[in-house]
Structure 1
Amino acid sequence: MSNRSEPLSPQGRAVVITGASTGLGESCAHHLARVGFRVFAGVRREADGKRLREAAPADLTPVILDVTDEEGVAAAVRRVTDEVGDDGLWGLVNNAGIAVTAPLECVRPELLRRQLATNVVGQLTVIQGFLPLLRAGAGRIVNVTSGVGNVAIPYLGAYAAAQFGKEALSDALRRELAPFGIPVSVVQPGAIMTPIWDKMSAEGLRTIEDAPEPVQELYRDSFLRFLETNEKSARTSSKTPEDVARVVFRALVTRRPRTRYGVGKDATGGRLLARLLPDRAIDRVFGGIVAPSR
């Protein structure tokens, strides 16, 4: 008789993870393969897949998977279906995403559309595609969001909108899929240093420079200060991508997974902040970010 408190064995169970080219996704893919999962790692380019495969344990298969390309998602589903057959899929880890960083007044509509298409619409497209395999394998879903999915921070409004959206999708899916025995968990990393931070700063600077000069003048000083502080927070964080990978692993093997897992004090603190403080108090907490320089 099995102990209900013991974790499930990962051996031979198939898992798909999106956004595995770099950062959190790459760490998760390597970690899950090392502990015994059969990993299908979603990457956007053949070169990324080759590099990932060369550095990974034996049971890791790169799969071309751009979450914003519906035909590409369908092709990835067919590829994984051919590989796993009737065994189905044990886990789907939705990690792919981008982070638009800029004052909302500077965010062009096409940039917001790309943010939402990647972090929200693309995630649901992937989930819809792999659900038949998850049912066949009595599997589960792990959605990687962010601490910004708890509270919207100035200059991360577009990213927060996407993460709030992914949180909402996760809640609705958890309730809709409960009758079919498919758990849905959210993993919320805080500020953790990965290549995304360099992209955020570079693209944020380009975005504000594309705004009309009078608008640039309104935000430039406080936004540059925000970028510096934000990156410093990630660089000095005690948490690493490997910490996130271990939490994702826990969500995949725990017999009764939690609905949410925070990784880092800022992620868990943000959740408490949103629950306990009124809006005006939270506004004051973040007031220093947008305050003009003296």
Structure 2
Amino acid sequence: MKEETVYDALSDAHDEHGQWAFGTGIEDVATEITAPVPDGVDAADLAAYCLMLGDDALVYGHRLTEWVSNAPELEEEVALANTALDLVGQARVLLSRAAHLGAGADEDDLAYQRREDQFRNVALAELTDAGDFGHAIARLLLFSSWRLALLQRLVDSRDPVLSAVAAKGVKEVAYHRDYAARWTLRLGDGTDESHRRMQAALEVVWPYVEELFRVTDVEERLMAAGVAADPAATRADVDAVLAEVLPPATLTRPDRPAIGTIGGRGGRHGVHTEQLGHMLAEMQSLARQHPGAQW
């Protein structure tokens, strides 16, 4: 009898198809990427919306990979790496759809060849955790609660790609949110030091939360066409999660003003924190040194 390897065990445990890297399932919706644009929908608007959702996932996924070899325990490294893979998997499909609609040559071009001001992610996705695990958990709780609410609404999108990504993503992001909620409870209601650091982490990320609920002109047009989800409507979902998680974690909902925008323009319009530029310099460096290279 053949002795089972660690890779066999991972495959058996996580995926009946032998694919244990959670974020690599682009094939699940690959046939949908070239689907026709729904009637009455502007292709440029749809491409812009796919970039918004794809950039959120790509940028935050990259940030989460920074915890590999840096998390407090090996188990948490694996959990955060798999969360990142889920998000990168979503980003691949969304950026591929955007490229097909004319936003770029392909998913790699959009990921590695755009300038900072051409990215459309929310600021919460691009922040660095600065090596603080409490900060990582606070940000994941807020981001995943918001993204899950968006994806739940996008399941019924008239665009087949968005609908397919949402249907798969709901299952993934529900796990991300629950993972973050469990750690929030553990750290918030743990030692005095873990409580202090968890509360401090919430205070740091809180000013970036308001941006999650702002609605762009592109989103308004696509919402009217039955394609996009209303980010403003997700506020109640996020508030419900916080109302359930924070009190038993003995944490207080922060009371801090939102980060201001420049002329009313934030991440959705290409106006970012300085942290995104540093991250892109690292993420894009190899592709820019060897343009067109394949491995």
- Structure with the largest fraction of helix: 2
* Same fold at TM > 0.5: no
TM-score (norm 1): 0.34
Of Structure 1 and Structure 2, which has the larger fraction of its residues in strand? 1
